[in-house]
Structure 1
Amino acid sequence: MIFASDLSLSVDQHSIAGVKPRNEDCIGVRIPDRETLQLKGAVAVIADGVSAAEAGKEASEACVTNFLSDYFCTPDSWSVKNAAQKVLQALNRWLYGQSLRTLNDDKGYVCTLSILVLKSTQAHIFHVGDSRIYLYRNGELEQVTTDHTARVDAERTYLARAMGFSPNLDIDYRVLEVQAGDLFLLSTDGLHDFVPHSQLRERLREAAQTPFQGLAADLLQTALQAGSDDNLSCQILRVDSLGLRDADSCCRELSRLPFPPPLEVGQSLDGYRVDRILHESARSQVYQVTDMETGERAVMKTPSLNFVDDPAYIERFTMEEWIARRVHNPHVAGLVPCKRARSCLYYLTEFVPGAPLSRWIRDNSRSDIHRVTRILEQIVKGVRALHRKETLHQDIKPDNLLIGNDDHVTLVDFGSCRIPGVEEMYLPIERERALGTASYSAPEYVLGAKATTRSELFSVAVIGYEMLTGHSPYGEAYEKAASPTALAKLKYTPAYHHNPMVPVWMDGALKKALQLDPRRRYDSFSEWLQDMTYPNSRLMPDSALPIVERNPLAFWRTLSGILLLTQLATLLWLLHLLR
């Protein structure tokens, strides 16, 4: 992966109890190493324990220390919003649970919380309560958070939202574009309630261009002299440089390794012998190779020479290896580390014995429905392994699924994956938007709408339909439908029209997953698999539908049983006559 920015920050922070006997505020900053800084960003956290809650100090310390720890433990592929919100939801539930357990002791684990995450060229702000975050830029000071307070009268207010207040956390989130020279101030009410906005602006103006170590402590002393009767805390972060690289610099790094030439069976590259050519296209080549030192088999993917001067293509190709390294699941092809220095651009994944699912479909048309559901369960496990990393595959199709003789299924090829956490990172070249295969992609891809996990569900459901019937759910016209009008003319064909052994309730599950409007599909894969395995009465058609269409399997079993009884009765009658 290429890093196109190198964020540089200056930090100053201070926290004191003030006139109170103990300090219930808590502050923390973490600026990680360069790679983690690129992937996760730098984080500043400030929390103010609610004085009316006996465990306010414990709550603020838990929020700051645990967020700074847990946020950096989330997957690198997660977006800042997803990672932070998941950590905050867990922290909030823990605080609320602690309050419930100590209810009789009048100990409430409640605090305000404001978080600043600086990643690449963006500032991500999370906020609940009445602590604040300010942005100073070009001589102007702006409060970028909103106080969550409600006024009782002209002099009194109370906190309306905070961490630990309720099991369901309502936290503000916003994103700001960052410029070099920006200065962020995080503070608790012991400071900003006693130092006027204009005075804060003037003090920060001094820090915008000069070293400002000690300014945080000076601001707190100013608030104390103004009569602050609360704990006081503040943090100051200045963006010294974004360290943005230009396109030429990024292209040079992306082109550091040359493209390998097309390989033939028997040739070797870096100690890997080509045993078989698995796939060749205009975009890449895939080979089955053997490590000549160890005898281990692997799969090598190389870029196509057609894109040797395309930096966006190269960036996406290198991203495939990055994804494979981070996903560990028996139904996803894993990365094989290169044991020797690479002389050119390629990567290795584990060798999976088996054939593409497309071939299996051709050889097993109208397969047993129970076998199909077992295969679909494995596909879903592989896809959900990517989703847990907040990664969309975006090209789920039979050719990208390998099935072994034991029906074990493995998902391969990460060339079209979308990763929100990576998209947040600055890149001076336009990223390549690789799309999947039209016949298996959800309509939102064609219409330019945002793809979600429901889009992936559509693709898996198309595969399920094809495994059961050998046909496409909307026919050949689906591939050509490129507008809302064309899509509106499509008509779903029930699976049991192609394969009478498909129960109506199973077709109902397929039909719901294959809705052209993503809002009408299932919310989750698990719900869909449940309905694919067990009849859901809500998916049944009108009772007037003949039983042969409602449940063909039951119909033919019943009819066969009746015919068998009839034949036995006839046989007994003939034997009786012969006596």
Structure 2
Amino acid sequence: MKHLEAGMRLSVAQHSAAGRKDINEDSLGVRVPDGLALTTKGAVAVIADGVSAAEAGKEAAESCVTGFLNDYFSTPDMWSVKRSAQQVLNALNRWLFAQGQGFAQAEKGYVSTLSAIVLKSRTAHIFHVGDSRIYRLRSGVLEPLTRDHARRINRHQTYLTRAMGLDASLDVDYRTVEIEQGDLFLLTTDGVHDVLGSAEMAELIPAEGGPLDVACESLIASALSAGSTDNLSCQLVRVDNLPVPEADDVYRKLAELPFPPPLEKGAVVDGLLVEAEIHASARSQVYRVYDPERQRRYVMKTPSPNYVDDPAYIERFVLEGWIGSRIDNKHVVAVVPTPHRPSYLYYLTEWVEGVTLSQWMKQYPAPALADALALITGVAEGIQAMHRKGTLHQDIKPDNILVREDGVPVIIDFGSCYVASLAEIAAPIERDLVLGTAQYSAPEHALGRTAGAAADQFSLAVIVFEWLAGKQPYAGKLEGSQSLAAYSRLKYISLCSYNPHVPLWIDGAIKKALSINPASRYGDIAEFLHDLKHPNPRFSTVHYQPFIEKNPLLFWQVLSAVLFLLLIYSHTN
């Protein structure tokens, strides 16, 4: 992951004052993490203004700032910025609203504005609720990036239409803007921007390289001189350097470890004894190795020498091990640390004693329904564990599922995984895109559309159908479909027509999960799993469809033949 470490450098400053009020109910904070956290999570600035009419406005603002900064960086580093921030904001809002229920009126309790900016790679992610503001200064022009959620009653009085803790549900504005080197972001509370215009504030902000702390103090002082009667707070974040490494530099970092040579039985790599080659393809080799120190067997995956000069392939291989090391679930193969500092590029996973699901399905071609569902449940739980970490597997198929000797399934192979947080990081190389196996892939993959969690759900449904029916769904035509027109011609053939022992409600659940349109599938794989195990009344009734609707051409052909025979019969008699 060294090649992804951010080269972003920021200058930050902030200042807050009570002004002409006795208590300062504003709160603000900045966090710029080090190393990989800056790459995967970004830098954060957040400002909050406790509503003065609320009795606990100060406490609300402080909770918003400290809670957001602490909890955002505690979310999985594989989550997207949007998912991480919204998860934290919703939890904070629920807590504030619950605290406010102790007051006679909720709006008199824990209520605050909140504006936050997350700078990650080359993108600024903005989250905003209330009437604090975020601006961007570029080429001397100060541009507002947020809009106030407030309604003016008269010249001197406004009320918030949206705020943290104001309601049980939260509606947060979210937008992204591209970052350029030299951009400067300004966050203010209304004690500043209600009395100073954009042009006035822009003049107080220094040119490139100037001291930001002095600028913050000048903004506060100018707002006070202009007659501000509220608390005053501002933050400045300047982008001094952006993570835009050259492709050659990225390749140099990726190629720090050499590819291992072809490994024969008996070879020793970093103290690991090669016992056998398990699998080899054009993209990688997989070996069973033994560690005499730990007295344990592992699986070693090595890159193919065919791609030694391909930085996109090397990056994809490096990320495989990183992705696997962050999923902790008994139904997902565990990536384990190497016993010694590696001398070659490879990664290790736990050794799973068992067979692939493909082999298992051949051994048990007509499984008891309860046994099949128990195994599929384990696979679904593994997929869910990946989804909770912002990761799509994208190649769920029987060959990528191992079944332990005790019948517990384990998902393997991270070669096609999509990780939301990594997709947000700009790179000077075109990233390697490895799609799954066509006969198990969701249509959105083949059509080049954005795939979500519903794509893995589709793949799981293909496996369930194939195992219970002994045939592929859609008469095996999924693999050959590459266009929207081809997919629109596919017709679902009921699983019950292949296996009459399968209940209608299971067939209905599988049919829904196999919908060509991802919007027609289940909202979550857990819902699919529930309907596989519990009869859904919607799927338990046979809906009669007249023969003329099922096959109108054949209907009229049969009717014409019958009429023709009747006509001949009438003439002969």
Bucket of the pairwise TM-score, normalised by the shorter protein: over 0.9
Letter matched to residue 322 of structure 1: W
Q: Does 1:125 align with 2:126?
A: yes
Q: Deviations over 1:298-336 (max 9, x none)?
A: 110001111111100100100011111111111111111
Q: Is the Cα–Cα contact under 8 Å of residues 42 and 117 in structure 1 kept in the other structure?
A: yes
Counterpart of 1:50?
A: 51
The Cα shift of 1:209 comes to 3.3
Q: Does 1:210 align with 2:210?
A: yes
Distance 1:370 1:275 in 2: 37
Counterpart of 2:559?
A: none
Distance 2:105 2:253 in 1: 62
Distance 1:265 1:102 in 2: 73
The Cα shift of 1:45 comes to 0.6
The Cα shift of 1:105 comes to 9.6
Counterpart of 2:440?
A: 440
Counterpart of 2:34?
A: 33
Name the SS of the counterpart of 2:143 in structure 1.
strand
Letter matched to residue 185 of structure 2: F
The Cα shift of 1:155 comes to 5.0
Letter matched to residue 257 of structure 1: L
The Cα shift of 1:120 comes to 1.3
Counterpart of 2:339?
A: 339
Q: Deviations over 1:410-456 (max 9, x none)?
A: 01100100011011112110111110000101001011111111111
Counterpart of 1:501?
A: 501
Distance 1:496 1:105 in 2: 55
Aligned ranges for residues 72-83 of structure 1 at < 5 Å?
A: 72-83=73-84
Distance 2:450 2:43 in 1: 28
Name the SS of the counterpart of 2:345 in structure 1.
coil
Counterpart of 1:115?
A: 116
Letter matched to residue 79 of structure 2: W
Q: Deviations over 1:463-505 (max 9, x none)?
A: 1111112210112321011011111111212112222211111
Q: Deviations over 1:159-182 (max 9, x none)?
A: 111111111110011111111111
Distance 2:212 2:515 in 1: 58
Counterpart of 2:532?
A: 532
Aligned ranges for residues 189-200 of structure 1 at < 5 Å?
A: 189-200=190-201
Counterpart of 1:356?
A: 356
Distance 2:105 2:178 in 1: 47
Q: Is the Cα–Cα contact under 8 Å of residues 151 and 160 in structure 2 kept in the other structure?
A: yes
Q: Percent of pairs identical after alignment?
A: 52
Letter matched to residue 468 of structure 1: L
Q: Is the Cα–Cα contact under 8 Å of residues 447 and 482 in structure 2 kept in the other structure?
A: yes
Counterpart of 2:380?
A: 380
Unaligned runs of 5+ in 1: 546-579
Counterpart of 2:172?
A: 171
Letter matched to residue 180 of structure 1: Q
Q: Is the Cα–Cα contact under 8 Å of residues 6 and 35 in structure 2 kept in the other structure?
A: no
Name the SS of the counterpart of 2:128 in structure 1.
strand
The Cα shift of 1:544 comes to 5.6
Distance 2:101 2:453 in 1: 36
The Cα shift of 1:153 comes to 4.0
Q: Does 1:321 align with 2:314?
A: no
Q: Is the Cα–Cα contact under 8 Å of residues 6 and 243 in structure 2 kept in the other structure?
A: yes
Distance 1:221 1:479 in 2: 68
Q: Deviations over 1:63-91 (max 9, x none)?
A: 00011100000011111111000000000
Counterpart of 1:230?
A: 230
Distance 1:96 1:257, change over 3 A: same
Letter matched to residue 465 of structure 1: F
Distance 1:162 1:87, change over 3 A: same
Counterpart of 1:266?
A: 266
Q: Is the Cα–Cα contact under 8 Å of residues 60 and 112 in structure 1 kept in the other structure?
A: yes
RMSD value over aligned CA atoms? 1.4
Give TM-score, length-normalised by structure 2: 0.93
Distance 1:263 1:73 in 2: 41
Distance 1:355 1:281 in 2: 19
- The alignment of Structure 1 onto Structure 2 pairs a total of residues equal to 544
Q: Is the Cα–Cα contact under 8 Å of residues 133 and 186 in structure 1 kept in the other structure?
A: yes
Counterpart of 1:370?
A: 370
The Cα shift of 1:95 comes to 0.5
Distance 2:544 2:136 in 1: 66
Q: Is the Cα–Cα contact under 8 Å of residues 257 and 344 in structure 1 kept in the other structure?
A: yes
Letter matched to residue 96 of structure 1: F
Counterpart of 1:573?
A: none
Give TM-score, length-normalised by structure 1: 0.92
Distance 1:62 1:172 in 2: 20
Letter matched to residue 275 of structure 1: E
Name the SS of the counterpart of 2:209 in structure 1.
coil
Distance 1:431 1:4, change over 3 A: farther
Q: Deviations over 1:177-208 (max 9, x none)?
A: 1111111110000001111221111112x243
Q: Does 1:449 align with 2:449?
A: yes
Letter matched to residue 25 of structure 1: D
The Cα shift of 1:213 comes to 2.5
- Greater Cα offset, 225-234 or 463-472: 463-472
Distance 1:436 1:171 in 2: 36
Q: Does 1:487 align with 2:491?
A: no
Letter matched to residue 502 of structure 1: V
Counterpart of 1:302?
A: 302
Counterpart of 1:65?
A: 66
Q: Is the Cα–Cα contact under 8 Å of residues 53 and 108 in structure 2 kept in the other structure?
A: no
The Cα shift of 1:151 comes to 2.7
Letter matched to residue 436 of structure 2: G
Distance 1:302 1:102 in 2: 62
- Greater Cα offset, 300-309 or 497-506: 497-506
Letter matched to residue 175 of structure 1: T
Aligned ranges for residues 514-529 of structure 1 at < 5 Å?
A: 514-529=514-529
Distance 2:52 2:154 in 1: 20
Distance 1:212 1:503 in 2: 69
Letter matched to residue 122 of structure 1: T
Q: Deviations over 1:358-395 (max 9, x none)?
A: 01111211211111110111001101110010100000
Counterpart of 2:86?
A: 85
Letter matched to residue 172 of structure 1: D
Distance 1:359 1:105, change over 3 A: closer
